[in-house]
Amino acid sequence: MTDHRIILLCVIPLVASLVSIALINRRAWSRLVGVLSFTMMLGLAFSLVLKITDAPEEQSVLVSQMGGWTAPFGISIIFDSLSGLLICAAAAVGLGAYIHSFSILDPRTERRYYHPLMQMLMFGVNLSFMTGDLFNLFVAFEIMLMASYALLVIGTSLKQLRQAYKYILLNVLASTIFLMGAGMVYGMFGTLNIADLARIIAEIEADPTRQLPAGFNALAVMFLLVFGLKGAFFPLWFWLPDTYYTIPISIAGLFGGLLTKVGVYTVARLFPLIFSSNGDMMTNSAGQWVGGTSSVIMIILAVAAAFTMFLAVLGAVSQHNVRKILAVHVISQVGYMVFGIAVMSGHALAGCAFYMVQHMVVKCALFLCCGVMEKHAGTDDLDSLGGLLKRDWPLAVLFFIAAMSLVGLPPLSGFFGKMVIIREGFAEDLWILGVIGLVTGALTLLSMLKIWSYGYWNPDKAPTVSQPQAVKSSCRSAYAGIVMLVGFALFLGFGAEAVYKVANRAGEQLENPKTYITAVLGEGAYEQVDVLIAARTVEPEEQVAESIAAPQVSTEETGPEDEQAASELPQDLAKRLIVENPPYTVSIPLGKHGSIIAEQAVSTQGALWPMPWITQTDTGWEVIEE
Amino acid sequence: MMSSPILRTANGIIFPLTLLFAFYMALKGHNFPGGGFIGGLIAAVALMLFRMSHGRDAMTRLMPIHPRVIVAAGLAIATLTGLFPMIYGPFFSVEQEAMPMLRSFAPYVNLGVGEPVHMPSALFFDLGVLLVVIGVSVGMIVRLGEEIAPDEEEVAQA
């Protein structure tokens, strides 16, 4: 369903960043603009999610085509349940970290474009959650990364610069591979639109006479490498702990909550829809048709999930700094999400969506707590922390709730995510992953208790940098941010049923792409697949070969028959467009969907875009010679 | 930074010509290769050459505003152009229908002289892009120039 309001989720932070550039030297006004922007994003995203949750299936995906250009050619902005959930969580986390930063950041640092950069970061994040094609995903990533580079070095200490250099180098490498991959996708399928790609792949899967192009699995691995690096999967997570160790703690909280999840989101979006395919038709236990999954990708995802979960949690147990423990835990938790994606059933994907949301909120809350702990003790080294329970019991309560949510103690939010993912793992024969998930949970508890007992329970031996009362009064906004996020975490735990309603819908949409494809490409875009499947279940082979409509341009040598075909063009347009361009004849088979686009392009431009050398004249079609 | 009389004199011709070419490229970009980004880059080359030939003070005199204002103004123009149809569509257009962001209008505007001019709304978007590119590159030139300034004085003394 078309709803043009969704793009406002990107426009709000953009406008806010412009306004805060104008107000760069007025701190209070900049802060007000930022808080307003985050609140508006949160409110808008929340209302849109409420709207699509109760809507019937054909209205459950909101689409806006930028500039009114139809789907595979224009820029599509898509808001479905998964995007909605994540944008809500991103806005909440952003708001919490932003409020928290008021009492953490040095005023001089704050003037170095901190406010505009935060808004630009949110712009990139929201755009990557909503974009409908691969190239715009790349653009959104770049916007987000540019802002994150600048935020990484904000305040410029030498340590920060050293780590930022590593981060920038890795991300530039990943972006290059991403761009190469996008180019290869365009070469193989002639489209970059995610829904269009999913449609083509679904048609290939349903059609026994066609095969996926060679190198498709290699392409999938390339994309996995890129998103794995951004999302900090198993062999590619080495950049994360050191980077998050050096930056101001509010920004570390935001990055730990948001940035890796954008990588995981893209895997959750692209792999079930497109890249995990092996080109075969398969049905699930309920008899519905689902695409066949490639064993190579499945194995890579499962192994990545297992190692990410387990090795990272071991790393967390061995660390002795609060920041490092939390940073390494980000990786370990990403493992659970990849686990959910690797199982690739609708319920597991729903669990993955829920887990992403809860992890963003809880992880950010923990980082923010760590910020106040550092204010109390002047350090985050566990050896010199202690006695915080006596000094500051509200902080201890907030930290305990957040930590237990991360571990997944039953009434709290982490439990529901882990339970669904692990249960699905056992159900789908990935019991090894399930066991590793459970062990990881226990070790998570151990490392969280380590912070708890050293930092809060131990006798007070810290060199008291500042008096508790002074810290409390200087950290009011920090407490506000933490309370807000912990409140959200409690809501996710006690209101898990309501959130799961949205998450289940997200899982269904990811598992069965029909709703998504129809919403983006228009009615009838998926008919070809249905026809092929019906033909295949009724009578195989000949019937299917008749109705193939491959969206590709083939070039053949000229022959006398083709001239005849060319003269009959306008009548035959719905099926096949043959254009003579000596010495070649271009033959363009058009599916039902393809012909609609061709007609539109012809009526608006007078030429068949993207082949401008073909134009319509009064008598028929004409080829313009170069 | 060294600056020779030859470069300075030649730049008297090159600078306006390059700016004109940049403007031409920016306008041409609606239907042909070119556009705001390309135009902005060419204009940035002109400005860079100007900075090399005339020095930092002349650059500041030529462009007295902070580059970040130019960037922000360009982004604001582009954003407003994008937002215009979203407000115009449902409230002011004849059909009263919702329009997506960045929808383009291509009216022929009668300027009173000669033929009506084809003036697509994408022109304003391109203008925004042009300003962003110019602002960013001027910002970089100014920043790089700050490092070089002390050497320049030495050269002048010698």
Provide the ipTM. Answer: 0.85
pLDDT over threshold 80, residue A539: no
Least confident piece of the model among A104-118, A363-377, A520-534, A609-623: A609-623
Residue A71 located in a structural domain: yes
- What's the token pair of residue A344? 């690739």
| Domain residue ranges in chain B | 5-157
**pLDDT, tens only, B81-105:** 999 888 888 888 787 778 888 888 8
State how far residue A101 is from chain B, nearest Cα, in angstroms.
24
Do A178 and A278 fall into the same domain? yes
Give the residue, A15 or A384, on which the prediction is more confident: A15
Taking CB atoms and an 8 Å cut-off, how many pairs form between chains A and B?
40
Q: Length of chain B in residues, anyone?
A: 158
| Measured distance CA(A413)–CA(A542) in Å, rounded | 53
Preceding omega of A610 cis (within 30 degrees of 0): yes
pLDDT over threshold 50, residue A573: no
Do A35 and A137 fall into the same domain? yes
Contacts 24+ apart (CB under 8 A), A522-531: A522/A70, A522/A71, A522/A593, A522/A596, A524/A592, A524/A593, A525/A195, A525/A199, A525/A593, A526/A199, A526/A202, A527/A592, A528/A199, A528/A203, A528/A591, A528/A592, A528/A593, A529/A199, A529/A202, A529/A203, A529/A206
Interchain pair B101, A65: CB under 8 A: no
Residue A347 sits in which domain range?
A: 4-521
Contact A151, A251 (CB under 8 A): yes
Do A509 and A580 fall into the same domain? no
Kind and range of the H or E run holding B84: helix B67-92
Q: Where are the beta strands (DSSP E) in A314-371?
A: none
Do A485 and A601 fall into the same domain? no
Interchain pair B100, A11: CB under 8 A: no
Interchain pair A11, B82: CB under 8 A: yes
Do A225 and A304 fall into the same domain? yes
For chain B, say whether A624 makes contact (Cβ under 8 Å): no
Top mean-pLDDT range of A66-75, A225-234, A468-477: A225-234
DSSP A223: H
Residue A536 located in a structural domain: no
The number of folded domains in chain A is: 2
Res. B122 pLDDT band, cuts 50 70 90: confident
**pLDDT, tens only, A302-344:** 999 999 999 999 999 998 889 999 999 999 999 999 999 998 8
Residues of B with a Cβ under 8 Å from any A Cβ are 68, 71-72, 75-76, 79, 82-83, 86, 98-104
Q: Which residues on B lie below 8 Å from A14 (Cβ)?
A: 75, 79
Do A492 and A617 fall into the same domain? no
Do A581 and A469 fall into the same domain? no
Do A266 and A338 fall into the same domain? yes
Give the closest of B68, B75, B99 to A4, CB-based.
Answer: B99
Q: Which residues on B lie below 8 Å from A11 (Cβ)?
A: 79, 82-83, 101
Residues 6+ apart with CB under 8 A from A473: none
Which among A8, A24, A33, A64 is the top mutation candidate for probing chain B, defined by the most B β-carbons within 10 Å of its own β-carbon?
Answer: A64
Do A517 and A560 fall into the same domain? no
Do A575 and A464 fall into the same domain? no
Do A344 and A268 fall into the same domain? yes
| Measured distance CA(A148)–CA(A154) in Å, rounded | 10
Contact A355, A418 (CB under 8 A): yes
Interchain pair A4, B104: CB under 8 A: no
Give the residue, B113 or A46, on which the prediction is more confident: A46
Interchain pair B103, A2: CB under 8 A: no
Q: Tell me how far apart the 2 most distant CA atoms of chain B are, in Å.
A: 72
